[in-house]
Structure 1
Amino acid sequence: MTPLQSSGQVGKAIAPFGELAFKPDIRPDVLFRLTGKLQSTLELPLLIEIFFKNIQSSVSVDGISYRVRERQIVVSQGRTSAHSVNYELSTHGDKVGELIFFRSSRFPEYELANIEGLLSTLLHPLRNALLYQEALDASFRDSLTGAGNRVALDRTLDREIELSRRHEQQLSLLMLDLDNFKSINDQHGHSSGDAVLKETVRAITDCMRQTDLCFRYGGEEFLILLSNASQADALIVADRIRETISKLLIPATQTTTMTATASIGCASLTVSDSRQSLIHRADLALYTAKNRGRNCVVGEATLSQGLMKEKRQ
């Protein structure tokens, strides 16, 4: 393992302790205590924090950053500095991300050996924490579409409502229902219906910002949570989603394709709203969109105007 020097950065790959090219100069009791502490949690942020705090007696670092790019995981402790050493981590052939150490001065070879010795205690706890995180993420995901499930919706919406009020930001909710979805299942079969649901979530995701969230609410119903978005902003996003779904050509057989449309209702957070009342008003707007012929978007302003018109009549 030869370090790659570039702009103050060192790149190396780290494997289990027995494969190290340099032997660390760390007392066995230090490694033993660190191993015990790392095995005390499966929470990834806490694991990285424990590791950062407990390596300082063996090698001084200003900060560390752990990353798993394909899963968009970034956990950092301390601060970045001019010099860094980057390790690709793996155990039993499985990649478990990369860990970057930062410091204002260069790392000499003997300190790199110490870092590698310390890393040998982290590999297995890190792999276990990733497996735990994966299982935890799966418990909040709809297994078919990858959208958040009802449990995730309840927790997230309560949190977003609280944050919206605390920071005096707007919050909007879209309720989307695929039109005539039963006919798709009846005509093409349930596997084709599943394909439509997957493509619908993909289309929704393509139209959202990174801060927006999509949840599967029922069979063919989805809720899209738009943080810091007014009613006008939400209606623009809703119509973009509606139009994108209407243009989908989803394979049914090798020679035929399916199309789908969606109706969408929109509601925005008010001072007196709870999670249930916000969802209820989005559902009312969706119901109106269905009654108006489907494949359309209805917001609360439009809904209020319609109700006033009905009362005058």
Structure 2
Amino acid sequence: MATVVSEISSPELTTPMGTISVLPLLEPRPENRRLISDSTVLRISTALQSSLFVRDVIRSFANEAKRIVRRISLRYRNRSDGLSLQEGRLQLHRCTYDLNLLGKSLGEITFTRAQPFSTDEQSLLEIMLCALIYPLRNSLLYERALRTALKDPLTGINNRANMDQHLDQQVLLSTRYGTPLSLLMIDVDLFKGVNDSYGHIVGDAVLIAIAEGIVKCTRNSDVVFRYGGEEFVVVLSNTKLDGAMHLAERIRASIAEMEVKAADVDLRVTISVGVAELQASESSVDILQRADRMLYRAKSRGRNLVITDDGC
């Protein structure tokens, strides 16, 4: 099995075959001019800049690579970004490259084929990797920025803007396919008193602990959001009211048993939960408003309660 482990950095790509400059892509080294034309390099570069999403960039790169080196497949992995993308079935012979730019890892790419790679084919793949580096870096940065924009900076869970988009989409899918959709509106009881008595550092620690506690109780299909202040929302796709009630009660009980430690203070807090299931012809605003009314009812009845439309 042929395996080549290389490292791409700026401005050079170091391989067992020598050094290839990353920057002058349109002017390959003299010994490689015969391998690839300027028009081909330009076509590859253009294709790789057609999208800012990593999956699209890798797919375009794979398509171009297959045009130049026949019968290959590839796999791209980036552990820090949780990415593992594959184009084609992995085969026996492999060339693996660690991708780095300015000392920062961009992941690892592996080319595979049933037959061994020739020296010229490895050179071609390395020239193509030079063209991939900057589009890949840009797409990784773009997707990271998107994730950051949709996350609450304090708790690390999804934020209000993300919730608005997600809930609208789930309501649309529920209406189109006739699947159930439920929602939990959660509020930390007497949270203002926590801030007033212990300060915002302790208050922040409480919110972080509450968010973690909610996430631990939910399923992979459930999505948790910080709605604002001390309020949280959980969107439950394919879940009827009784299932939502069961989950809400589990979350409530778990939080009530939890002890928050921060700044030499040990606290126990409780939450109130309003639960609603999407009804026919309702919008995302409608189900939110009903869950909020149920939350208000839970607060008015003494807190540390789960309340639904039927008054449970």
Mapped partners of 2:152, 2:59: distance in 1? 31
- Indicate if the aligned counterparts of 1:61 and 1:101 stay in contact, CA closer than 8 A: no
Q: What residue number does 1:229 align with?
A: 239
Q: What residue number does 2:215 align with?
A: 205
Mapped partners of 1:67, 1:199: distance in 2? 32
Relative distance call for 1:101 and 1:297 in structure 2 (3 A) is: farther
1:135 and 2:128 aligned:
no
Mapped partners of 1:122, 1:257: distance in 2? 52
- Indicate if the aligned counterparts of 1:170 and 1:230 stay in contact, CA closer than 8 A: yes
Task: Give the TM-score of the pair, scaled to structure 1.
Answer: 0.84
Residue type of the alignment partner of 1:232: D
Relative distance call for 1:85 and 1:287 in structure 2 (3 A) is: farther
1:93 and 2:88 aligned:
no
Relative distance call for 1:224 and 1:20 in structure 2 (3 A) is: same
1:248 and 2:258 aligned:
yes
Mapped partners of 2:78, 2:284: distance in 1? 33
Q: What residue number does 2:5 align with?
A: 12
Relative distance call for 1:229 and 1:95 in structure 2 (3 A) is: same
Mapped partners of 2:280, 2:108: distance in 1? 44
Give the Å deviation of 1:62. 5.5
State percent identity of aligned pairs. 35
Give the Å deviation of 1:32. 3.7
Give the Å deviation of 1:188. 0.8
Q: What residue number does 1:297 align with?
A: 306
Q: Of the candidates 286, 294, 298, which is equivalent to residue 285 of structure 1?
A: 294
Relative distance call for 1:145 and 1:125 in structure 2 (3 A) is: same
Q: RMSD between aligned alpha carbons? A: 2.4
Q: What residue number does 2:271 align with?
A: 262
**Cα shift readout 1:138-180 (whole Å, capped 9, x = no counterpart):** 1111121122222211111111112223333211110000000
Q: Secondary structure of the residue that 1:55 maps to in structure 2?
A: helix
Residue type of the alignment partner of 2:223: L
**Cα shift readout 1:196-255 (whole Å, capped 9, x = no counterpart):** 11111111111111221111112100110111111111112111211222222222323x
Mapped partners of 1:205, 1:60: distance in 2? 47
Which one is further off, 32-41 or 50-59? 32-41
Mapped partners of 2:217, 2:4: distance in 1? 37
Q: Which ranges in structure 2 are unaligned for 5 or more consecutive residues? A: 21-31
Relative distance call for 1:41 and 1:284 in structure 2 (3 A) is: same
Q: Of the candidates 186, 200, 203, which is equivalent to residue 176 of structure 1?
A: 186
1:22 and 2:17 aligned:
yes
Relative distance call for 1:28 and 1:178 in structure 2 (3 A) is: same
Give the Å deviation of 1:85. 4.9
Residue type of the alignment partner of 2:14: E
Mapped partners of 1:142, 1:180: distance in 2? 22
Mapped partners of 2:245, 2:204: distance in 1? 27
Q: Of the candidates 168, 171, 176, which is equivalent to residue 166 of structure 1?
A: 176
Relative distance call for 1:264 and 1:38 in structure 2 (3 A) is: same
Q: Secondary structure of the residue that 2:186 maps to in structure 1?
A: strand
Give the Å deviation of 1:13. 4.5
List aligned pairs for 1:212-223, cutoff 5 A: 212-223=222-233
Give the Å deviation of 1:127. 1.2
Relative distance call for 1:236 and 1:135 in structure 2 (3 A) is: same
Give the Å deviation of 1:109. 4.3
- Indicate if the aligned counterparts of 1:188 and 1:252 stay in contact, CA closer than 8 A: no
Q: Secondary structure of the residue that 1:176 maps to in structure 2?
A: strand
Relative distance call for 1:213 and 1:20 in structure 2 (3 A) is: same
